[in-house]
Structure 1
Amino acid sequence: MTNNSSLEVPTNFTIAIAMESDWHIGSGTGRRGDIDRLVKRDRDGLPYLPAKTITGIWRDACELLVNGLDDSASNAYFSKLLDYLFGDQPALAKGAIAISPRESALSIRAAHFPETLSNALKNKPLLKEAIAFVKAGVKIDHETGCALEDHLRFEEVVRGGITLSADCQLQLPEDTQLQQLCFALLVASTKFFTKIGGKRRRGNGQCQVTIEGVTTDEWIKWLGDYLNSESLTLPIIPKVAIQSHQPKAGDRSEGKENSWQTIRLEITALSPIVIAKRTVGNVVETLDYIPGTHLLRMVRRQIVKYYPDFATSIDSAIAHNDLVITNATIAIEQTQSYPTPFILSTEKIGGGLLKGAKIYNRFVDDDSKATQLKAERGGYLTCAVNSDSLEYPNYQKVEITAETHNIVEDTVQRPTNKTGGVYTYEAIAAGTIFQAEVRLREHIANSIGQTQAHWQKILGGETAIGQSKKDDYGRVTVEVLDDKAEPNSSPKPEQDVTELTVWLISDMLLRDDRLRPTNNLDDLRKQLEAKLDIKLKLPEEKIGIARSHRIDSWQVRWQLPRPSLVGLGAGSCIRFEIIDGELDSAKLTAIERSGIGERRAEGYGQVRFNHPFLSESLSGLTYLKPSDENKPQADPPPNLIPFHRYARIIERAAWQKAIQQKVLARAKDYKTLLYIGIEKDKPTMSQLGALRSVLGQVQNFNDTDQAILWLANVLANKSRSGKWLSQSLGKIRLYLTEAHVIWEDLALNLEPITLTDTGEDELKQELWAEALYALIDACIRAHKRDIEKKQSQDSEQTQIAQEVN
């Protein structure tokens, strides 16, 4: 068996997709009365190839190769290897799945324009428009072969000639033969990856795919030698890992319960993130934060990866809630934010917290004389607390986007209800920055720290979070802000108080005396009494506002919903009266750090007690509009870049559009006709037609000899020259002998439509003949319309005169 050890399998690699023809990746939307189908664009406004599209087409290409290797046998070795590479397809399964679906070993990200070109186009909107053009189409009746009436449509199509790049990641076991075989299949299948996008069977989407830094022929030769080897032994495909991990209880150090070490994490969304909230029809809604549940697995994986001896300690900490990971909420001015308290209301006509409306705290403020109020729902805020007073909160909402996808059925090659059809993902927008806290008991953190100082840095790096994280969604980067930091907490009372206000900054999961999930406030009161060693009661009025929140999820293996998590929702505010005992600041701090209720390790049960924002009047706070002076100013993108083949394509298209718009505007002006030398019946239409025919044969500025000779012959012939105005032929000769004149007359604004450093000079030479012909042709057509209009008016007047007589 041939084994070329020099062929190394990369873990991370980039594929280059060279679009050899025009292409269309639809967004599923259009512009009413204009375009029926728009192309999908990224956040920079540029067309791109979604990862799901690339994955589906690449899988189809690999299936062609695998079908030949397995000799069309179903469930053969290479078919299983294909499922190992691209993952199982549970949507195609019939009935319940016996084992959990296999995850894909190959992760593919979206393919975007080259970074240099993308940056250069940021301040060039006209060039962005020139990337795509509108193409007309019709629907053909399959019986008659003719176009159907009322079926004309217009589709946006991206110009070909661009090479897009997509990052890929391959996670394979340490088996060298399996690694090489999997990678060889991927490399060889790129030969079948020749079309992508809509209408690819009708000329669109022709492409060529290569893996950067890899010689395709070399890997294909290796695959042929490997499979034709006499001593061929195919490597074993790993089975689906059955996750039966249950954290063990272990021992605890009760004396150190209130000592914590906090690690602050900043999470930046590199791509949209889908955190499934619920499914409504074919729309998957998303949460506007990252739950600690999604971060817990990442934190445990990183710690156990670098410090495997501490696996039992970490599992025990999770089981005992000695490791707490808070929800990652949007960062406002580099600070972790809190869910907006439900107890807040704003004047309805003021525009809410986002626009600085007057705030009312319904625990304290008298709102009886206020104008119509509106309860604040959604969004996050940070509460600045000075020693003297409160400041108006910084408020922000998370940007949510929506993308439509589909599942194509192989037999009919289009989405159908059988495979799920069309569906939409709501997602947190790319570029959103979150912050979260990892809290670990001090004795556990110190035991890890004895192995290596600054161990917290291992939690940073790039990872994937949420749903559909192997392709278009979930790519994030995690940064450890500092090694040690005190958790955010409420200022504690310095004197005796008679009330306890509770602000839930995450969902809280409680159980009643019968161990049933509950959102009853009496059950919360009982837990607080037990932890604080005091007696509480709910007041008769101004109890607060509490809402329940339900989180649903799906068991893919069983094809059934998981049990719902129902509890008190984040933002709930409850007021209790203290009837016996006194508040202990240390106990309040301990509860704020560890939380209340179940699943605290995942961020549930986070609270704030007696926060000034809920205990003081807010109606007098003044909104200060944020100043733009302190905002970091991004470096402006470069105006010009070195020559780029695709940049020249869109430059040329933008110039051609600008020329057409300019000459049409100029031709409407009668002064332009006089300037060129066209007036009334001079020159005659036959002479103008001859001029247009001659100029149509001019290809460039060096190809004007025949046109100049034609002008000379006209001047030499008195009968023909008499049909022209005296300045006409001289002006046209000036156009043909001085290249700059046409551009001076058109006076185009070239800066917005020029991208390359040599673009202006080269395109003026390339499009000189086109610009000259367009101007003369537009003027002749305008002159022709004026003549026909005058003839029509004269005919009407003659007819009226005859009727009068």
Structure 2
Amino acid sequence: MQKELNWKRFNIKITLEEDLHSGTGTGGGGGIDAVQMTDREGRPVIRNSHFKGLLRDAAQELVYFGQIKKEEKIRLFGGRINDENGDNTIHRGKFVSTSFNIKNQKYPILWTSTAREPFSRTPLDDTLRTVEYVPAGSGFEGELELREPDLSDVLEKCLKHIDQLGSNRNRGDGLLKIDWDVKEENEIENTVTDLSPPTSNDTQLRLILRNKTPLCLPKTGFPGNILPTERFLRGQVVMGAFASWALDCLPDAEHQSLNFLFDRKIKFGNGYPLPKFKNDLVKNPEIKMWDIVPFPLHIQTKKIAKIDKVKEKETEPAILINQIWWAKQQKKDLLFGKSDEHADRFMPCDCEAQYKRSKGDVYLFRCSETEPWFQYTPEIAVHMRNQVPNRDNPDGSLFSDEEIVENTDFLIDIDFHGNEDHAKKFLHLFKNVLNGKTWLRIGRGGRPVEVVRAVWIEGKKDSKTIVGYPGSITVTLESDLIARSPQNFGFYNSLDPRMLAELVGIIDEENQFSSLPKNTYSYCDHEEIRGFNAASGLPRTPVLAIRRGSAIHIQSNESNCEQVRSLCEKLCTTEHLGERTWEGFGRFRLNFDPLKTNREFFTKNPKWKCEYLVESNSEHCPDVSFIENREILLKDAKSIANQLPTPDEGGPNISQWRYAQEQIRLAKDVNSIQEIFNRLTEHEKKRAGKCWESKIKNGQEILAFLKKEFGNRKEKYQEDIETIRFLFDSVIRWHVVVIKEETDQEKTHVEQ
């Protein structure tokens, strides 16, 4: 039976009827012990992995009660099933969903609770816990795509079975209402409407892909507590995503026509992440001129000079901060090359300075050849997760995923090498993907990735063309390079002239290239390349590759001039190097010098500023003025707290201070803090067993002292609510620590 070329899209709306906490597993600032999961913009979100887990649990219950069949559950969510031949095969789930974003955001609320001592109403020490909640009445929306429409009834039964989300569901939290509507294939709008049929001049298809949920692309086969992720989409991953979509959604009769996708004549490049734009420049017609490359390893940054240590007690906070190396780093601009901060290590530079390579995956981007290069790092988040206990692992396990944040754009080129028939066939088979009507599944869990832009281009301008012989050559890897030695078939882990000669086909029978390393400088790194086949459930054999950004500089002289010239000529006519070039490996550039390009540009345009990119730090560097201000506030808070009495001296206890602290944290302006002190003064209802003024020995004097200090700081800090709130929150936090220390000392004394 052939599968029809159709699928269904579900628009799902979730309305909270009770407060919801879908947490991150971590605490936050301001004394919050468990914070709500948020997206990259700080808005509450319900992760698709959490929603999928609830759907799976609902399906399991429906199977138990006979409402659906076990085979239907496996077809929907994936798993092992016996096929017609009796073979136990792996089936991938037939639906993929986005995360659910909040639509009518309300101010989050905090719930504070504590445990009690057995057979008593007395709060148990050190059990006070504050949790952040999304208030009832909030609404979330998301989408779900079903690859087998005949499972619609099964999916709808599972949706009807879900009535709660998040934590503490057994106590009534997270109660919700789910509504949905179904869109057929012809009702789904196109996100790409300007893709024309290819012509004889169209040799490459340029795509911009956008992940609709955070994306984890595991880069190791032996993860620890944190599963690291790749920062970009490898060509092999994108090619596999297209093939997986075709097997899921195309009719069986079309599967034979997919052979051209695997005959290694179509080459998928790597999808490198784009920087964050102020506006939606993805729709810009100049996308054909965009260029993006990994940051070269030979361009390095000066290290900060070593600073003598100072004694904190003898130094003012502002002076102390200026002595800390990480606080001295100023905020980095997206542009590089405007100052002498960077240096090309292949060129003569400051001999006394120390240099360091760029950390992590840093990229360079420019919109056209007439603009400078921009340096940036894609945004990465860590998602803490807890594996559900099962028969093999009854206790479960806590682990974390590194993830590329949602709505990150990736630029990728697919090269058809002038084969117009292959280009037309690709457009015909994957028309719905290229139009954005359906999603690709990429990464761990098959996260949805959509095409937001697709254009035909004539191909990149040949960056390897060199006018005249320059006397030296620099080879910079644009992607990872997989190459083996012909002698022992071992993987190369660095660049050298003899290896390059082998890869371009130069037969070095007389070992002429053995003398070149004397005039060679290289900055290289290597890493393992791994992969996973979701259809078979088996990993790919790992290989060793020379890392993208690695570079080698070969300087010629009278003795090796001819060898360097012949190597240069061969490299100019070679498109890719090494193995698996159809998966994006082996791209390189000759004499690529972005630092020189930027310096020449800023010499001519010293006042030029970028108007379309969001400034961010290529390496996280704290703001010096912010740190100085916080250090001064903490010192001021300590001086105020030292004047407050402990409970043994007639002051409030910890619970009473915590109540005041919670009220201060919720204050929205300076006048609200003033009202808090007034309420505590006039309060007649008991709080934590005692009233502030009438039941505390020195309650009236303490409140008068706090009002006086508040009035002084209100004028000093110009009624800045953030500063004043942080100050008095720190006062209470410091004083609570003092009270706890005294209590512990008393307990120790009694026990002795």
The TM-score, its normalising length taken from structure 1, stands at 0.60
Give the superposition deviation at 1:202: 0.9
1:566 aligns with 2:544: yes
The Cα offsets for residues 314-334 of structure 1, whole Å up to 9 and x where unpaired, read as 745744x42211111133585
Name structure 1 gaps, 5 residues minimum: 1-8, 71-76, 91-97, 119-127, 174-178, 215-257, 634-653, 674-684, 690-751, 753-805
Query: Aligned pair in 2 of structure 1 residues 108, 665: CA closer, same or farther (>3 Å)?
Result: same
- Between stretches 294-303 and 623-632, larger displacement belongs to 623-632
SS at match of 1:540: helix
Cα distance in 2 for partners of 1:293, 1:286 equals: 15
- Which residue of structure 1 lines up, in the alignment, with residue 109 of structure 2? 132
Cα distance in 2 for partners of 1:346, 1:660 equals: 43
Match for 1:135: what amino acid? T
Cα distance in 2 for partners of 1:64, 1:492 equals: 65
Query: Aligned pair in 2 of structure 1 residues 31, 459: CA closer, same or farther (>3 Å)?
Result: closer
Match for 2:547: what amino acid? G
Name structure 2 gaps, 5 residues minimum: 1-5, 82-86, 184-199, 278-286, 305-328, 616-662, 685-720, 722-752
The TM-score, its normalising length taken from structure 2, stands at 0.63
Query: Aligned pair in 2 of structure 1 residues 184, 455: CA closer, same or farther (>3 Å)?
Result: closer
- Which residue of structure 1 lines up, in the alignment, with residue 298 of structure 2? 343
Give the superposition deviation at 1:163: 3.2
The Cα offsets for residues 201-221 of structure 1, whole Å up to 9 and x where unpaired, read as 01211223333369xxxxxxx
Residues 361 and 619 in structure 1, CA contact (< 8 A), matched pair in contact too: no
Residues 101 and 140 in structure 2, CA contact (< 8 A), matched pair in contact too: yes
Match for 2:180: what amino acid? I
Cα distance in 1 for partners of 2:65, 2:678 equals: 67
Give the superposition deviation at 1:601: 0.6
Query: Aligned pair in 2 of structure 1 residues 154, 501: CA closer, same or farther (>3 Å)?
Result: same
1:290 aligns with 2:265: no
Residues 492 and 585 in structure 1, CA contact (< 8 A), matched pair in contact too: no
- Which residue of structure 1 lines up, in the alignment, with residue 323 of structure 2? none
- Which residue of structure 2 lines up, in the alignment, with residue 211 of structure 1? 180
Q: CA RMSD in A?
A: 4.8
Residues 84 and 103 in structure 1, CA contact (< 8 A), matched pair in contact too: yes
Cα distance in 1 for partners of 2:333, 2:451 equals: 30
Residues 15 and 209 in structure 1, CA contact (< 8 A), matched pair in contact too: yes
SS at match of 1:424: strand
Give the superposition deviation at 1:505: 0.8
1:371 aligns with 2:362: no
Alignment of 1:533-682 (within 5 A): 536=513, 538-553=516-531, 562-576=540-554, 577=556, 578-580=561-563, 582=565, 588=571, 590-592=573-575, 595-613=576-594, 627=609, 629=611, 662=671, 665=674
Match for 1:206: what amino acid? L
1:516 aligns with 2:502: no
Query: Aligned pair in 2 of structure 1 residues 375, 189: CA closer, same or farther (>3 Å)?
Result: closer
Residues 532 and 588 in structure 1, CA contact (< 8 A), matched pair in contact too: no
Give the superposition deviation at 1:360: 2.1
Alignment of 1:524-535 (within 5 A): 524-530=500-506
SS at match of 1:665: helix
Give the superposition deviation at 1:619: 10
Match among 312, 319, 331 for residue 274 of structure 2 = 331
Query: Aligned pair in 2 of structure 1 residues 146, 476: CA closer, same or farther (>3 Å)?
Result: farther
1:395 aligns with 2:375: yes
Residues 475 and 590 in structure 2, CA contact (< 8 A), matched pair in contact too: yes
Give the superposition deviation at 1:193: 1.5
Match among 128, 134, 146 for residue 158 of structure 1 = 134
Residues 116 and 123 in structure 2, CA contact (< 8 A), matched pair in contact too: yes
Give the superposition deviation at 1:294: 1.3
Alignment of 1:228-247 (within 5 A): none
Query: Aligned pair in 2 of structure 1 residues 564, 488: CA closer, same or farther (>3 Å)?
Result: farther
Give the superposition deviation at 1:12: 0.9
Cα distance in 1 for partners of 2:250, 2:154 equals: 32
- Which residue of structure 2 lines up, in the alignment, with residue 56 of structure 1? 53
- Which residue of structure 2 lines up, in the alignment, with residue 113 of structure 1? 102
Cα distance in 1 for partners of 2:587, 2:489 equals: 21
- Which residue of structure 1 lines up, in the alignment, with residue 25 of structure 2? 28
Residues 362 and 542 in structure 1, CA contact (< 8 A), matched pair in contact too: no
Query: Aligned pair in 2 of structure 1 residues 438, 156: CA closer, same or farther (>3 Å)?
Result: same
Alignment of 1:737-776 (within 5 A): none
Cα distance in 2 for partners of 1:384, 1:131 equals: 40
Cα distance in 2 for partners of 1:371, 1:451 equals: 53
Query: Aligned pair in 2 of structure 1 residues 664, 435: CA closer, same or farther (>3 Å)?
Result: closer
Query: Aligned pair in 2 of structure 1 residues 420, 552: CA closer, same or farther (>3 Å)?
Result: farther
Cα distance in 1 for partners of 2:131, 2:363 equals: 40
Match for 2:450: what amino acid? V
Equivalent pairs, count:
559
Cα distance in 2 for partners of 1:558, 1:451 equals: 24
Match among 16, 20, 31 for residue 19 of structure 1 = 16
- Which residue of structure 2 lines up, in the alignment, with residue 784 of structure 1? none
- Which residue of structure 2 lines up, in the alignment, with residue 170 of structure 1? 146
Cα distance in 2 for partners of 1:368, 1:659 equals: 52
Match for 1:484: what amino acid? I
Residues 523 and 550 in structure 2, CA contact (< 8 A), matched pair in contact too: yes
Give the superposition deviation at 1:625: 7.4
Mark the structure with the bigger radius of gyration. 1
Cα distance in 2 for partners of 1:632, 1:33 equals: 28
Give the superposition deviation at 1:53: 1.5
Residues 267 and 478 in structure 1, CA contact (< 8 A), matched pair in contact too: yes
- Which residue of structure 2 lines up, in the alignment, with residue 783 of structure 1? none
SS at match of 1:69: coil
The Cα offsets for residues 158-217 of structure 1, whole Å up to 9 and x where unpaired, read as 2112232231111117xxxxx1xx322332334432222111101211223333369xxx
Residues 437 and 487 in structure 1, CA contact (< 8 A), matched pair in contact too: no
Give the superposition deviation at 1:423: 1.9
- Which residue of structure 1 lines up, in the alignment, with residue 203 of structure 2? 261
Cα distance in 1 for partners of 2:552, 2:388 equals: 50
Residues 529 and 535 in structure 1, CA contact (< 8 A), matched pair in contact too: no
- Which residue of structure 2 lines up, in the alignment, with residue 103 of structure 1? 92
- Between stretches 150-159 and 457-466, larger displacement belongs to 457-466
Give the superposition deviation at 1:403: 1.2
Residues 217 and 444 in structure 2, CA contact (< 8 A), matched pair in contact too: no
- Which residue of structure 1 lines up, in the alignment, with residue 460 of structure 2? 487
Cα distance in 2 for partners of 1:81, 1:454 equals: 28
- Which residue of structure 1 lines up, in the alignment, with residue 364 of structure 2? 381
Match among 189, 193, 199 for residue 168 of structure 2 = 199
SS at match of 1:201: helix
Cα distance in 1 for partners of 2:505, 2:669 equals: 79
- Which residue of structure 2 lines up, in the alignment, with residue 648 of structure 1? none
The Cα offsets for residues 531-557 of structure 1, whole Å up to 9 and x where unpaired, read as 999975533044211221212345789
1:272 aligns with 2:180: no
- Which residue of structure 2 lines up, in the alignment, with residue 44 of structure 1? 41
Residues 335 and 374 in structure 2, CA contact (< 8 A), matched pair in contact too: no
Cα distance in 2 for partners of 1:632, 1:368 equals: 32
Cα distance in 2 for partners of 1:101, 1:451 equals: 28
Match among 414, 428, 431 for residue 407 of structure 2 = 431
Query: Aligned pair in 2 of structure 1 residues 288, 661: CA closer, same or farther (>3 Å)?
Result: same
Residues 532 and 583 in structure 1, CA contact (< 8 A), matched pair in contact too: no
Percent of counterpart pairs with the same letter? 20
SS at match of 1:492: coil
Query: Aligned pair in 2 of structure 1 residues 110, 629: CA closer, same or farther (>3 Å)?
Result: closer
Residues 30 and 37 in structure 1, CA contact (< 8 A), matched pair in contact too: yes
Cα distance in 2 for partners of 1:555, 1:316 equals: 19
Query: Aligned pair in 2 of structure 1 residues 398, 489: CA closer, same or farther (>3 Å)?
Result: farther
Give the superposition deviation at 1:458: 6.4
Residues 346 and 360 in structure 1, CA contact (< 8 A), matched pair in contact too: yes
Match for 1:87: what amino acid? G
